[in-house]
Structure 1
């Protein structure tokens, strides 16, 4: 079984293997028909068997097997004058396979075939129709192989781009969730290390429970990332099929608002435990947000609150507001910088969001001066460019 598995693993192009096996069977059948009528010489039979074996091996090593198949089948056609039509098909197939796997070798094989046919036909009267026929015979497999090669290259490029976008989305999710959770834990631990230990045992247990809840959140976010990597995320089923589209839209908008409110309340509780005071205001929206807009907004909110926890002055008031108009989500954030702040992380989260938002025709304006730090962000709700829409998921 192990040699069989090893041989199967070497098959890079199952379609080429299937074509080669069918062609090998056709050669054997046609050879049997002609042999029963005593129309084949022993040398032709031997060459035909070699061609059939090479056709059967096409799927294992397409490049060098196709070169041998081109040479052997060409020899059979030009010097043995084989009556087997399948030998000619094998020669054309070798050109097509070479053009697909090694385009330069395919073009060279096509030129060699055209030159060999021209030399062979010079013994007879070479007419314009013969030249056209030879040209078409050589160009058809060449163009077929080139076309398939370009199609495969395009699919590979698309798959590579999709993998890159998935990696970037995962990296952003890691930064927006797990790294911010851990940064908040570090801030809480630093706060506890500077404060006197609580005399009340219950208060001490509450601090431990809070830290444990943060760790559980980080663990849950880790599991979410793992599910994304494994493509195991499950979509929510529709509960009532009989609901109208308007009812479903209202339900979805309500669920989205609850998700955003939960993020704001959780982040405000965290900031309050660190000594911050401020407001988080969420406006209303009647129609549901697109999934990519919601993902972008959730990540941005987490990053803004994490930015406040890391760099703002706990004694100054902070504010985060989210409002909606017909075409944009408008986010405003303000705080006062802490001159004695402890730098945690790379601080590249907001810069990455700026790049994403500006790439989809949004605006991201930040002012940082003695009066405080302010951010005004506008995210468009609708996109007509599909490439821009994909940017949300990076």
Structure 2
């Protein structure tokens, strides 16, 4: 099993780049490669025919006859395989290198063949290196050193000392250059992958925060409108202009968050500052239409809790909120953006599902592991707060839902637990920062 795992890893190491990664696509003709491969194949045929006409080998001597047959067979294989580089570049290049190495094992067949065969293997090495620099380096070393070694063993090639030293020096230099290219390519690929991951993470964060902000604001507006409708039927309409103004601000804030998210998702990062006059970007409460992805501090988290609890109070909810004034140890520079989004979701769920007459209790604290949020209330109906509830009741969406935050917390070593007993609902969450 260990051997198979190592072999699989080694094969991945030499895997050529795909078309999506900037490599050559298999199964589709490549005009330039096709033309070059065809010209090389024609040169092979022309030069081999010229050798035959000039008495390349004689059938009278069995030794030379066998040598000529091997040379012709190898040349024919290369002439047939080389043009396929234009259609299946990497596979055909590997086949060409393999034929060359087989011919190296019969030194006379390679060293007495047409010199144009070197063009075939050179093209194959270039194509192989284009797909994977490391594989190209190995192919180059094998295709150069193998005929030298086998020719020396068979006493066909007699390199002198200076030639061997020069060849070794050239190979070492080329290998060093290839190693630098491979290292630079790997580093560039890692940086590109990291950049793509950061971009995906940023887009996901923006999309989720946009959804939360808009959904929760509009849900709050709907609840205010329902409360106003009940007040109108009961003959109580005091403070109606103030309530209307507040709802207008919520709708404007939702639109502002949408514009900011669109700017970020379209790549116009600098456009985030365009709406700075609308509100404070660092304000996570959303009262001023803040940015949908700015870092949140403990003080800003307290401001959010205060603003959201005041919202609930204005629509008839009473509750108890417990949150330390000072910054807990270990959270001085922590990014609490996810905690702010989670608290918004909690307040939205209270407004949507809790019984206003029974109130609620919310506790927010911090420790080294992250933010601890405890919430208890009495739902208007059983299961309203459920963590796996996917379909909102009465057509009002309140953001991503607790299931999203439970998955987020568990992926990072936190937790989110819910208990519901005798009509009372409670939740305890640990959100790592």
TM-score by length of 2: 0.52
CA distance in 2, matches of 1:260, 1:193: 32
CA distance in 2, matches of 1:351, 1:263: 22
The residue number in structure 2 matching 1:18 is none
Matched, 1:362 2:414: yes
SS in 2 for 1:304: helix
What is the alpha-carbon root mean square deviation over aligned residues? 4.4
2:424 to 356, 369, 372: 372
Contact 1:107 1:142 in 2 (8 A): no
The residue number in structure 1 matching 2:159 is 125
CA distance in 2, matches of 1:366, 1:126: 82
2:360 to 310, 318, 327: 318
CA distance in 2, matches of 1:338, 1:305: 15
- Cα deviation 1:341-393 (Å, max 9, x = unaligned): 6353387432222233334433322212324111122345xxxxxxxxxxx5x
CA distance in 2, matches of 1:257, 1:351: 24
The correspondence of residues 26-65 of structure 1 with structure 2, limited to 5 A, is: none
- Cα deviation 1:80-138 (Å, max 9, x = unaligned): 9xxxxxxxxxx89x968963554455654554444576699854436665774565366
Contact 1:261 1:282 in 2 (8 A): yes
CA distance in 2, matches of 1:177, 1:160: 25
CA distance in 2, matches of 1:196, 1:189: 10
CA distance in 2, matches of 1:223, 1:333: 32
The residue number in structure 1 matching 2:379 is 337
CA distance in 1, matches of 2:217, 2:360: 20
Contact 1:96 1:141 in 2 (8 A): no
The residue number in structure 2 matching 1:352 is 404
The range that moved more, 273-282 or 300-309, is: 273-282
Q: Which runs of 5+ in 2 are unaligned?
A: 1-21, 23-88, 94-113, 117-121, 274-295, 385-392
Query: Structure 1 223/285 Cα, relative in aligned 2: closer, same or farther at 3 Å?
Result: farther
Contact 1:277 1:317 in 2 (8 A): yes
The residue number in structure 1 matching 2:129 is 99
Contact 1:96 1:144 in 2 (8 A): no
Shift in Å at residue 339 of structure 1?
Answer: 1.3
The correspondence of residues 1-394 of structure 1 with structure 2, limited to 5 A, is: 99=129, 101-103=131-133, 104=135, 107-114=138-145, 123-125=157-159, 129=165, 132-133=168-169, 135-136=171-172, 139-193=175-229, 196=232, 203-226=239-262, 228-229=264-265, 230-232=268-270, 256=297, 258-286=299-327, 289-324=331-366, 329-339=371-381, 342=393, 344-345=396-397, 348-379=400-431
CA distance in 2, matches of 1:266, 1:279: 14
Shift in Å at residue 305 of structure 1?
Answer: 0.5
SS in 1 for 2:427: strand
SS in 1 for 2:336: helix
Shift in Å at residue 320 of structure 1?
Answer: 1.0
CA distance in 1, matches of 2:127, 2:222: 60
Q: Which runs of 5+ in 1 are unaligned?
A: 1-11, 13-62, 68-77, 81-90, 235-254, 381-391
Shift in Å at residue 208 of structure 1?
Answer: 2.0
CA distance in 2, matches of 1:126, 1:351: 75
Contact 1:100 1:106 in 2 (8 A): no
Contact 2:362 2:374 in 1 (8 A): yes
Query: Structure 1 113/335 Cα, relative in aligned 2: closer, same or farther at 3 Å?
Result: same
